[in-house]
Amino acid sequence: MPKAIHFTKGSIIYFEGDKDDRIFILQTGVVILTSTDLENHTPVTENIRKGEFFGVKSALGHFPREETATVLAESTAIVMTVSEFEQVFSSNKQLIMKMLRVFSNQLRKIHKQTEEILNKDKVRVNQESGLFSVAQTFFSDNDFKPCCDICIKFLTMYPNSASRGQVAKLYTSAKARLDREKQLNKNTEPVVIDEGDSKPLQIFSMPSFSRFAKTFEPGSVIIAEFEPGESFYLIQSGVVQLVKCVNGVKKNLDMLHPGEFFGEMAILDNTPRSATCLAYTKVTVLEFNKENFAQLITGNPQIALILLKLFCKRIYDQRRRFRILVMPEPQIRIADVFLMYDEMNPVSNPAERKRTFYITVQDIANWTAMPVEQVQDELNRMAEKRRIEMFTDHMVVFNIVDMERLVEGVMQMHQ
């Protein structure tokens, strides 16, 4: 059962980096949360007001604490475990929706910071010209199926645009090349991609959800960067790739698997899409819009709690990837990519220092926002020092602890 605990002035409720499943509600006193800004390494503080929750995100997501909770004046807080939180608040739609909006704002902030780093030299564009530029980027990269899909979206959304003729011409050219590709590859065996855990969330497997199901063929655009957001999606099967187009170059943001969701911020705010989401394999999703989402939550309060947990995971993942982008040195960025892959794929024997990661030079270039040629040069230097060995479809890190030391050394310099 949840219980009230008294904390003396100056005590620490939990430290940044701690792992536990406690969730707190401040009843009396003063508590502040202190963390470090990933980009400029300055301290960030947040005052907790009476009646507010804290420690929710890391507890629900089962991730290390992102901040230190310090007691500035004698305080009392209600303390509960994750299971107790679920029992007490899973049916409180108003509270869960409030938390979803708070976490949505946090996720939007991380997306904005990431976009600012990727777009340092990019002039801001409006939605119409932005959507056109995304189509052009896919065409330049010989990705003709996404280019066609985005052109169709553009012509549907902006039938009277001054750029209509250019977009129609781009579509015609992309469609002709796509048709030639299909003819050349008609006898080619499809590539099988590991989807990870293919079991969708059980609650979304009920027959009542079948009316929300949509299927997309490989290469199809599910949502396009710059288009208005009206729906969000939960993946039932397949792999979805999140892509950002920056200065005419595609940047991979993430690969999502069954049980994960995307486009969720459209439900909670009215901003344009911040990335393009592609069907990397054949994909089946559940599509929810703002109207049926409200009905969904009302009839199934547990779903809001599930989405809250998924938000926690998404925020943690995006912060982790943002950390890579703000690393000051190219080789440190690459080392942190290896660490991220190690965290995502835990081994059965952590004492074993050698790691094999199925990652390519292009993958690392995407994660680090560095040119492929620069990444290749840095990897060659690592290989010369016998830190790694490179193969066509994978890389071997001989000592993952050395990578940790490289990254931690830089991080400590900035603390």
In which band, very low, low, confident or very high, does the pLDDT at 267 lie, cut at 50, 70 and 90? low
Range from 255-269, 273-287, 311-325 carrying the lowest mean pLDDT:
255-269
Which of 62-76, 343-357, 386-400 shows the lowest mean pLDDT across its residues?
Answer: 343-357
Q: Is residue 330's pLDDT more than 50?
A: yes
Q: Where is pLDDT greater, at 44 or 255?
A: 44
Task: Please check the confidence at residue 224 and state whether its pLDDT lies above 80.
Answer: yes
Task: Tell whether the model's pLDDT for residue 233 goes beyond 70.
Answer: yes
2 φψ region: left (φ > 0), alpha (ψ -120 to 50), beta (else): beta
Q: Give me the mean pLDDT over the 300-326 stretch.
A: 82
* Structure tokens belonging to residue 186: 């008609």
Condensed to tens digits (0 to 9), the pLDDT of residues 141-158 reads 999 999 999 999 999 999
**β partners of residue 76:** 6, 28
Place of tokens 């904005």: 112
Residue 321: which pLDDT band, with cuts at 50, 70 and 90?
Answer: confident
pLDDT at 95: 81
Reported as a single tens digit per residue, the pLDDT across 268-298 is: 666 788 889 999 999 999 998 877 776 776 6
At residue 357, the pLDDT reads 94
pLDDT confidence tier of residue 188, bands split at 50, 70 and 90: low
Backbone phi, then psi, for 66, in 5-degree steps? -95, -5
Is pLDDT at 367 greater than 50 in this prediction?
yes
- The CA distance from 163 to 318, in Å, is 35
**Per-residue pLDDT band at 260 (split at 50, 70, 90):** confident
Q: Which two tokens stand for residue 363?
A: 């993958």
Q: Which of 30-39, 237-246, 260-269, 382-391 has the lowest mean pLDDT?
A: 260-269
Mean pLDDT check: name the lowest of 42-46, 239-243, 263-267: 263-267
Q: Which of 213-217, 304-308, 314-318, 408-412 has the highest mean pLDDT?
A: 213-217
Which pLDDT does position 198 carry in this prediction? 46
Q: What is the mean pLDDT of the chain?
A: 86
pLDDT number for residue 32: 97
The residue type at 217: E
Weakest-pLDDT range from 266-275, 345-354, 364-373:
266-275
| pLDDT-based confidence at residue 320 (cuts at 50, 70, 90) | confident
Choose between 315 and 387: higher pLDDT.
387
User: Residue 263: which pLDDT band, with cuts at 50, 70 and 90?
Assistant: confident
**In 158-294, which ranges are E strands?**
213-216, 221-223, 231-237, 240-246, 249-256, 261-262, 276-279, 283-289
pLDDT digits (tens, 9 = 90+) for 69-104: 999 999 999 999 999 998 887 777 778 778 877 887
The vertex-77 CA angle with 71 and 78, nearest 5°, equals 155
Residues in the chain: 415
Between 34-38, 263-267, 397-401, the lowest mean confidence (pLDDT) is in 263-267
Buried-exposed string 36-67: b where 16+ CB fall within 10 A, e elsewhere? bebeeeeeeeeebeeeebbbbbbbbbebebbb
Which pLDDT score is estimated for 139?
96
133, pLDDT greater than 90: yes
| pLDDT recorded at residue 200 | 47
Torsions phi, psi for 138 (to 5 deg): -65, -40
Per the model's pLDDT, the better-predicted residue between 301 and 226 turns out to be: 226
